[in-house]
Amino acid sequence: MRLLLVEDNATLSEWLAKLLRSEHYVVDCVADGAVALDGMDLANYDLAIIDLGLPTMSGQDLIRRIRARGLAMPVMILTAEDRLSTRVEGLNIGADDYMTKPFEIEELDARLKALLRRSRLSMVQELRFGPLAYSMTTRNFSIDGEPLAVSQREHALLEILLRHSGATISKEILLEGMYGMDDEVSPATIEVNIHRLRKKLEKTALSIETVRGLGYLLRLARPI
């Protein structure tokens, strides 16, 4: 899942992004509403977290323009402003939820998961391919009902392959889904993480196939 965090408090933004990444989200951070609107491909995001007190363009204006473009991704307002009128306005202009600072990260995470479950991007409760299952509620993988332990990068990689199971996915798409815009990216990490996932899947009915010149394919290695 790829999240856009629009927050001009650098300390809060870095802290929150780190926590969200530990929960297996890919997070891009922007400090300005105008940059978020005109400098980002908003269609690539599953959810946006937006502060209201932004420079250049307010969070309210950013939300209005996101909705005016027909983008349906869930929007969470995160702000220090706690007036009832501000909360009502935020929901009326197109936000899906509203949290005030300070907040507990556990509650924020639970609300983000609820928004993603309800969104059109995530209508099913579980993704499944052969023995591999991915819970949209817990955001955990399992094989034949047993938990599958994966690292943050492996999680992002396997989620992309599962969402496109049966199709070949290019390295470029995998890198885009595994890393935020500020991350240092090395194409070699794809091979490293593919190798690690193959080791974890080698005793299952699944395999990750290299399609030379095209990318990678998650497939059933044998009938189950």
> Could you tell me the residue range of the domain that residue 154 belongs to?
126-220
What's the CATH code of the domain at 141? 1.10.10.10
* Confidence at residue 178, expressed as pLDDT on a 0 to 100 scale: 84
Same domain (yes/no): 77, 22: yes
The answer to whether the predicted template modeling score (pTM) of the entire model surpasses 0.85 is no
- Residue-wise pLDDT for 118-168, tens only, equals 775 445 678 889 999 998 778 899 999 999 999 988 999 999 999 888 789
Return the axis-axis angle of helices 105-118 and 10-22, rounded to nearest 10°.
Answer: 70
Q: How would you label 167-205 residue by residue, b for 16+ Cβ within 10 Å and e otherwise?
A: ebbeeeebbbbbbbeeeeeeeebbeebbeebeebbeebb
Strand partners, 180: none
What's the CATH code of the domain at 83? 3.40.50.2300
What's the number of domains the chain is made of? 2
Q: Whole-number mean pLDDT of the chain?
A: 88
Quickly state the pLDDT bin for 222 (edges 50, 70, 90): low
Same domain (yes/no): 149, 215: yes
- Residue-wise pLDDT for 42-88, tens only, equals 888 999 999 999 988 999 999 999 998 888 899 999 988 888 998 89
Please report which helix (H) or strand (E) contains residue 153, including its range. helix 152-163
d(CA 89, CA 137): 29
